[in-house]
Amino acid sequence: MDKRILDILSRQFPTETSAATEIINLQSILSLPKGTEHFLTDIHGEDEQFLHVLKNGSGTVKRKIEAVLKDSKSESYKKRLATLIYYPKEKLELIKDETEPEALHDWYLEVIADLVDVVKKVSHKYTRTKVRRAIPEEYRFLVEELIAEKDGIYDKERYYKEIASSIVEIGIADAVITTLCNLIQRLVVDHLHIVGDIYDRGPGPHIIMDKLCDYHAIDIVWGNHDVVWMGAACGNPACIANCIRMSVRYGNLSVLEDGYGINLLPLAAFAMRVYERSDLGRFHLKENNRGEFFDLDKIESQMYKAITIMQFKAEGQLIRRNPDFEMDDQLLLHKIDFKNKTVTLKEKTYPLLDCDFPTIDPSSPYDFTAEEEYVMEQLVEGFLNSEKLRKHVKLLYEKGSMYKVYNGNLMYHGCVPLNEDGSFAHSNVGGTDTSGREMYDVLEQLSRGAFYKDRGTPEQIKGGDILWYLWCGPKSPSYGRSKMTTFERLFIEDKETHEEKKDPYYRFIETDEAVADSILREFGLTGPHSHIINGHVPVETKKGQTPIKVGGKVLMIDGGFSKAYHDKTGIAGYTLAIDSHGMWLVEHEKFESKEDAIKRETDIVSDTLVVETFERRMYVEDTDSGKKLRREIDEVRQLLEAYRNGTILIK
């Protein structure tokens, strides 16, 4: 090793003893069982369900309770204990209201003892240092005393009971119980993977992002519903219009106004004035996050129509300045015959369900009017100046990427674009001929310019346009369809025009093991334990579809987390977990509400599908973290040798 590197390393380990101790520490970590990885995808703003699944670890908490208590406690007690772990503060208040004062003391002692045993169960995979760091400092000593085995104490049971009794008597039992419950939640999952689509449809993407900002270990794969918000946060007008339109459609304007503090009054005032007498029939119904339709009020209908027309104009401008996108077939405004109220697509003419577009000039249909230009400028400033949105998008950039390779598994949201024969499709988006992994890499690099390059520079503008392309482009790995038919679905009755043809990938990935293997090799993965973990397209369980494809090589884990998909899929989403023993899918039933979970102690009823059981238990040494630790051990060994042979002098 270069002596300069050894000199730098010696500042961290300044003595022979400190270097030797670090080697022993790192070597011992390699022998610990691998921590649990938790995979979620297509959350779509369903904050209550997301937070509940996070709290229960896709059923892991219940399994740990069962392993600890077995038959020693009733099912009702174990059910209540699980709810307490999920929602400690809220559940404690209910329990105290329902419990006689004279019985509360004994209940405290019992539940503290059981929570301590569960903590011991979920912490055995971790070093004491890692567990200690997870405990809030003010209760670190107490919790460590409770969960540590103390050799040399003659009557251990009496010792621990005395600690618990003192906790209750001095009035800090609620705080300690809450600390223990939060510690269980923290330790039950070692690493969280989000495989795309945090945004749109549901009411709380900003709440989900707040939670992810504070999560202990996370990575995020960008979904197409994420990248359009990333583009909006970077000031791209087409992305902004799409985000607003989706928010109106699903009844979530509060996400923009209350969640992110974006002022929509300029849009509302413009829409009320310009669309006062406009035909609003196609913009009169709104779909909420449950997939139900109900009437918009007139102002919302006007805003919906106004932003939709502005979206088509902004997208037209974007497509024209990016010929490499090859999306001229989606320029439709200039194909409208306003006199006959028709539009021509692929040499076929269709009647329009609505042709009342007061801001479209047939001679220059993609130009904003002066008023639209002003409104868009205000909206751009609103998105750019939202501190919370910028914080959330910064997390998506720092912890996120187009794909992720982790512990031998490949995660991406949409697809790897393929040709009809199963070979990798090529694209010139961005000016470089790419396919496969390189396509992902080039598109990601370009899209990062939207956030990291100076505003208004060609690289920054191109980056924003790339994010829009990833949202809906014909060869976008995040989207995976031929086109997005928003115009056609709104204004043309013929359903043939509504088709959004799926990439051939989705056909091959059902049964073709050779294609799955070629994709894994493209991303540097081989061997029997490598898998593709995919989201984006809901698995319709009620139609007999399965998330396990080609013998388990591909796991399609979008089971319809969003309430808008529940009727279509028949369930409320899949999650995936991998621990030291194997990997399993969890099929979730519908989650009613947080309030129902706390009061009635309902949980998400889940079925477990075992995907793979490892032939031998997996340890840290078998993981990517283990490879990194080995490199660190090798470096410190070289430092230790340098101390011993005098190459580096001990300071």
Read off the pLDDT of residues 85-132 as tens digits, 9 standing for 90 and up: 999 999 999 999 999 988 999 999 999 999 999 999 999 889 888 999
Position 155 confidence tier, pLDDT thresholds 50, 70, 90: low
**How do residues 244-263 score in pLDDT, each as one tens digit?**
999 998 889 999 999 999 99
Q: What share of the chain is helix, strand, coil (3-state, %, to 5)?
A: 55, 10, 35
Q: Is the pLDDT of residue 68 over 50?
A: yes
- Domain borders along the chain are 3-32+623-645, 57-187, 224-385+424-496
**How do residues 439-484 score in pLDDT, each as one tens digit?**
999 999 999 999 999 999 999 999 999 999 999 999 999 999 999 9
Mean pLDDT score, 10-25: 94
Query: Rounded to an integer, what distance in angstroms lies between the CA atom of residue 48 and that of residue 595?
Result: 10
The residues, ordered by sequence, that sit 6+ positions from 105 with a Cβ below 8 Å of its Cβ are: 168
The residues, ordered by sequence, that sit 6+ positions from 230 with a Cβ below 8 Å of its Cβ are: 222, 239, 393, 396, 397, 447, 450, 451, 467
Q: Is the pLDDT of residue 242 over 60?
A: yes
Position 285 confidence tier, pLDDT thresholds 50, 70, 90: low
Position 296 confidence tier, pLDDT thresholds 50, 70, 90: confident
Mean pLDDT score, 67-75: 93
Mean pLDDT score, 182-197: 95
Quote the DSSP letter at residue 455: T
Position 569 confidence tier, pLDDT thresholds 50, 70, 90: very low
The residues, ordered by sequence, that sit 6+ positions from 348 with a Cβ below 8 Å of its Cβ are: none
Mean pLDDT score, 10-23: 94
Mean pLDDT score, 158-164: 85
Query: Rounded to an integer, what distance in angstroms lies between the CA atom of residue 572 and that of residue 271?
Result: 37
Q: Cα dist. 436→14, 505, 523 in Å?
A: 47, 12, 8
Q: Cα dist. 313→237, 245, 355, 359, 465 in Å?
A: 10, 14, 15, 10, 14
Position 292 confidence tier, pLDDT thresholds 50, 70, 90: low
Q: Is the pLDDT of residue 565 over 80?
A: no
pLDDT of amino acid 246? 95
pLDDT of amino acid 191? 96
Position 151 confidence tier, pLDDT thresholds 50, 70, 90: low
pLDDT of amino acid 159? 81
- Tell me which of 154-163, 267-276, 341-350 is least confident: 154-163
Report the percentage of the chain scoring pLDDT > 90: 78
pLDDT of amino acid 247? 95
pLDDT of amino acid 369? 98
pLDDT of amino acid 571? 46
Query: Which has more pLDDT, 597 or 568?
Result: 597
Query: Rounded to an integer, what distance in angstroms lies between the CA atom of residue 396 and that of residue 389?
Result: 11
